[in-house]
Structure 1
Amino acid sequence: MGRMTQRLKVHRIGDRSVSRIESVAVEEPLEIRVAALPDRGVPAGGNPLRPASTTVTTTMRLPGDDFDLALGHLVAEGLIGGGDDVATMMHCTDTGPDGSPTFNVVEVTLAAGVALRRPITERTEVATSACGVCGSTSVDDLIAALPHSPADDEAAFGLEAIHAGMAAMRSRQRVFEATGGVHAAALLAPDGEVLVVREDIGRHNAVDKVIGWAAREGRLPLRGHALLVSSRAGFEIAQKAAVAGAPVLACVSAATSLAVEVAERSGVTLLGFVRDPRATVYAHPGRISGTDPGL
């Protein structure tokens, strides 16, 4: 799995101690930079101009799917509207102490005439893989700024389809299978097909990677789809689902109070503890067949 895992010598202790070689998930920083093209755009030769770039964030991540992560982060943070706002993405030629390329910097060049939709705030400077700090300072700000409202989405899923989607996501978690050390997110289509699965050491990064894939594929907003996540549902996860226009968010673990508030007010159906054959519906149960919409 290339740069995603590393083989290390470890010591298992307990009833019987043993030394062995095991795989661990690789954790490396990714710096996301954004540059804006002048109105004249890309020259005839096909190579974009190289305007000065600005660092949006540096996050610790599992290497791989870096363009999806960068694009998804910009969309989920409300900095751009979708894939059409981007002209090019490229890894910068940064090098490590040994002189070899690290591929730990992605530069996103906006399309001609496109500008970031809001200023880059101090909180975007550095983020851990777990913090996933959102661009809104309150639920009120988030709801007011939503580019797509999931509230009128008539999506419907049977609970068995959600469970089958979770099982399919788990079966495609190659890095988790090797290391046990990463989260995953997936996108479930209206017909029950799992369209994409992305892994990362941070659950927020995994969601950003799925949203970035959807942006590249021209699938935003995610009307009719369910976003699946192998973690709890916190404020930031619910925020990202709402910004992407996903009408259903299903998580393996519990939901927090702010996540429930975001789901209630944005119109997202929020499920937690999705573990076959059960689930807990925290908000808008009417989209899940077999539940009483009056509950």
Structure 2
Amino acid sequence: MEESLHPEKGSEHRVTPPHRSQAPRRKVHQVRQGQSQVHTDSLAGEEPLEIRLTHPSVRDPISIAVTMRTPGDDFDLAAGFLFTEGILPSREAIHSITYCRDPKVDGEQRYNIVNVNVYTDVSLHLEHLTRHFYTSSSCGVCGKASLEAIEVRGIQALPDGFTTTDEIIYELGNTLRLSQSVFEKTGGIHAAGWFDGQGNLLALREDIGRHNAVDKLLGHAFLHKHPPLSQGILMVSGRTSFEILQKAAVAGIPIVVAVSAPSSLAYDLAHQFNITLIGFAREGRFNIYTGGHRILLKGSNH
């Protein structure tokens, strides 16, 4: 089991903590036509993950966030979260990523804590950490303030140029579904897929949380320098929220496709930052909410 990752070595190894299953089995009573049978069923794994930052100038690790996740690809999740929240500017800022090595922490629980270790000359931008703000605020945040918060971080509207076709969009959902190995076992887990403009699946990540699946996927691309995120399509298995579109804007992703519907604030963000937003992409149809100029329709001259 590899317990550390050094981005400069270019490792593509997918890290899963020991004794953790993405689809643990549990005893269930299955009832059909008044009869009950006992058998075992696979469930979507769910455990907490604490993401910490360590910096040579700070004595103790800085706790950034705790998220409920499906074990597996934890280093991708931590890197993707820090990237899309604007805390780390580049892959080169990371010296290594490790599980917790504190002997005072219970052995198994060490694998529910990830330390992202950065270089001495890296400036941390903890004021950019927005997820905690949005999820803990008791008084609420208006949509206008949410969009302005992204602008303050210097995120610009995406350029035009990248396009794909309706025929490719039609096929993304089938490709994503057939590639979801954990969903196949559990029926209760989300997926995020990264496609090129020709509809080829470049990477896929699964998690019980939609945002975590996206963080894992973008963290993978962030760490391993895959083709530019500006030249591809992000597809998610559920609905699209403000947070998912925020991550797309930070990463420079021009097209976001979902099996279900977008929220109103996701729509507003996509419109403001020139992101093509597509929903209900299943069964040979889809809705284009914003950025229709990037989708070339069969039989159209535009």
User: Is this a same-fold pair by TM over 0.5?
Assistant: yes
Alpha carbons 2:86, 2:128 under 8 Å: kept? no
Q: Does 1:210 align with 2:217?
A: yes
CA distance in 2 between partners of 1:168 and 1:23 (Å): 23
Equivalences for residues 20-99 of structure 1 within 5 A: 20-37=39-56, 51-93=59-101, 99=107
Q: CA deviation at 1:81?
A: 1.9
* Residue in structure 1 matching 2:125, options 117, 131, 136: 117
Q: Gaps (5+ residues) in structure 1?
A: 39-49
CA distance in 1 between partners of 2:297 and 2:193 (Å): 23
| TM-score, length of structure 2 as denominator length | 0.82
Aligned twin of 1:193: 200
Distance change in 2, residues 1:9/1:98 (3 Å): farther
CA distance in 1 between partners of 2:188 and 2:215 (Å): 18
Alpha carbons 1:254, 1:272 under 8 Å: kept? yes
Q: CA deviation at 1:123?
A: 5.9
Alpha carbons 2:50, 2:65 under 8 Å: kept? yes
CA distance in 1 between partners of 2:103 and 2:175 (Å): 37
Q: Does 1:162 align with 2:169?
A: yes
Q: Does 1:257 align with 2:276?
A: no
Q: CA deviation at 1:79?
A: 1.1
* Residue in structure 2 matching 1:227, options 227, 231, 234: 234
Q: Gaps (5+ residues) in structure 2?
A: 1-15
The one-letter code matched in structure 2 to 1:201 is I
CA distance in 1 between partners of 2:134 and 2:160 (Å): 35
How many residues in Structure 1 have an aligned counterpart in Structure 2?
276
Q: CA deviation at 1:80?
A: 1.4
Alpha carbons 1:188, 1:226 under 8 Å: kept? yes
Alpha carbons 2:30, 2:36 under 8 Å: kept? yes
Aligned twin of 2:293: 286
The CA RMSD measured in Å over matched residues stands at 2.9
The one-letter code matched in structure 2 to 1:9 is K
Identity of aligned residues (%): 38
Q: Which secondary structure state, in structure 2, belongs to the residue aligned with residue 63 of structure 1?
A: coil
What is the CA deviation profile of residues 37-86 of structure 1, one whole-angstrom value per residue up to 9, with x for unaligned ones? 35xxxxxxxxxxx9421000000000000000000000111111231221
Alpha carbons 2:156, 2:273 under 8 Å: kept? no
Alpha carbons 2:85, 2:131 under 8 Å: kept? no
* Residue in structure 2 matching 1:142, options 130, 139, 150: 150
Name whichever of 172-181 and 113-122 sits farther off. Answer: 113-122
CA distance in 2 between partners of 1:221 and 1:148 (Å): 17
CA distance in 1 between partners of 2:95 and 2:107 (Å): 29
Q: Which secondary structure state, in structure 1, belongs to the residue aligned with residue 50 of structure 2?
A: strand
